[in-house]
Structure formats: C-alpha cells, structure tokens
Amino acid sequence: MARQNNQKKVPSYRLNIMDDESHKTIQSFKFNRTSAVIVIVSVVLIFILTVYALIAYTPIRTTIPGYPDARSRRVALKNAIRIDSLENIILRWELYSDNLSRIVNGEDPVKIDSIVQHIANSSAEEINREELARQDSLLRLTVAREEQFDLSSQNQRNLSLDGMHLFCPLSGVISQGYDKLLHPYVDITAPANSVVMSVLDGTVIFAGWNDESGYTIQIQHSNNIVTIYKHNQKLLKKTGDKVSAGSSIAIVGNTGSLTTGDHLHFELWYNGEAVDPTRYINFNAAQ
C-alpha cells in the first residue's frame, strides 16, 4: 500500500501579461503568497527610504509646511540677537537701580566694569555654579596639567608674593582695576604690537585660542603662582615651553568676543585664588 502524502500543497498563482488583440502571452510571473508578501514589503521599504532620502538630503524638505527656510532662520537669528541686547540693557538698568539704591542708603556703589559683558549672555538674576565653573575653567586646566609638566612645588622653597619681584607684563595704562567680586583681574591698554612679557620664570601650560578670550597663554610659576594673559594678537610661546622673567611671550591684541580694543587682560593667581596684581607689580614704573 502506497504511503499517502499528508503534506498540504502550497497554492501558487500566475500573473500573465497578454496582448489584448492576439491574446499572446508577453510576460508571465509565477508566485505564491509568501513571495508576494516579500515583494510588497520590499517595495514599500524602498519607497519609504527613497522619500526619506529626498526629504533629508535635498531642498525638497523646505516645501514641507512649517519647516524653517533660510528666511525664517535669518529672522530667528535676528530675534536672538535682539534678545541678547535686551538682556544686556535690562542687566545694566538693574545694576544702575541697585547702585542708585545703595547711594540713597548711604552705601558705596558697586563698580560696573567689563564683567557686565561677560555675564550678559547668562541669566540676569544670578550666575549659577555652572557659569562660575566655566569662568575659571582655565584655572582648572592649570591644576590638571601641573603634573604633566612636572611643576610640583613640594620640593621648592615656599616664598610669599610679598618677597618676590614680579616684572610688569606690559607697558601701558590700567584701564580697569581689580575688584575681588566683579573684576578679579586688571585690564591694561597699550598701543598695537606692544610686547607682553612673563612676570616670572615658569612653564607655559596652555597657549591657544578661546572664543571669548581670544589668543590666551597661561604660565605656571613656582610657589603655586599662575599668570594668565588674554586677548593677544599673537602668541610667541607654545604649550610646554620654558620662559624666564621678562621674556616676550605674546603681542598685545584685540581678539575674542569680550574685548573692545587693544589691551591685555591679566590675571594673577596664588594658591588657587585670584589676587590684586597691583599689590605686587609696579605698573606705574612701566608707564
């Protein structure tokens, strides 16, 4: 007795393309349900990918309602600039009203300086911890790279700043003095192409570009002293170079977004704190 085949036969189909007049078969396609589903899904996926590619990588995407075109982006940029300007004006008025209130109450007014430009892009209410951390990022970089350049002062004689002779970094005029809260550094104006000098012997731990500070150079000195020179036109030293006191390290300039003319932004850090450079450097002798 022959063995019966219990397997279910899969139905198949044939699609014929025929000439309407002669009824001659031009093309014939044989398929089943599985192959038909695969073909349909493949066609749909290819169609979707093609449409996506056209929208993502061609100007066709600008025809989509609500998609920003070049004009709307320009308008958005202008509005952002206007908002920044308004924030700056509001901040200045707040400082003005605060000073007026302090004067009326018999208190000393707060000095308004270039810190206004620096914090105008942040909240007008307060500078949060994130902003403060960003502002002293250069100092953090100094600490991180100390071991890289073997600048540990554990085996060196620990001298006070009062007992050290610091060279004047630039022959010029102090346009903005030191303020512990609002302006913990000094700004020195000088003619273009004036030479910036290192105040002490040390090692360059950073020499490069910063969008706000322009060409910036940092020098690590002995006894936990760090000096920072910003807004330079050109740097004469690179990271890792050894410098001596009074040697040329940069050319004064007007680079970066936080500057309005040729000047040197000079910071003096001692034991992790910004100190008043005019207490240890005789700027009048260089004028």
List, as one string, the DSSP characters of 16-82.
EEE-TTT--EEEEEEEEHHHHHHHHHHHHHHHHHHHHHHHHHSGGGGGSTT---HHHHHHHHHHHHH
Q: Which of 132, 151, 178 is the last residue of a domain?
A: 132
If one counts the domains in the chain, the total is: 3
Q: Are residues 160 and 175 in the same domain?
A: yes
**What three-state secondary structure class fits 284?**
helix
State the pTM of this model.
0.48
For residue 6, being part of any structural domain is answered with no
For residue 7, being part of any structural domain is answered with no
Q: Are residues 183 and 125 in the same domain?
A: no
For residue 3, being part of any structural domain is answered with no
pLDDT tens string, the chain, 287 residues long: the values are: 445 555 667 777 777 788 778 778 888 777 788 888 888 999 999 999 998 888 777 777 767 766 666 677 777 777 888 887 788 788 778 777 777 777 777 776 665 554 444 555 554 445 455 555 565 665 666 556 555 555 544 444 555 677 788 999 998 899 999 988 888 899 999 998 999 999 999 999 999 998 889 999 999 998 899 999 999 999 999 999 999 999 999 999 999 988 888 999 999 999 889 999 999 988 875 55
Domain extent, residue 52, equals 12-63
Q: Are residues 167 and 128 in the same domain?
A: no
Residue 3, pLDDT score: 53
Contact call for residues 124 and 91 (beta carbons, < 8 A): yes
For residue 2, being part of any structural domain is answered with no
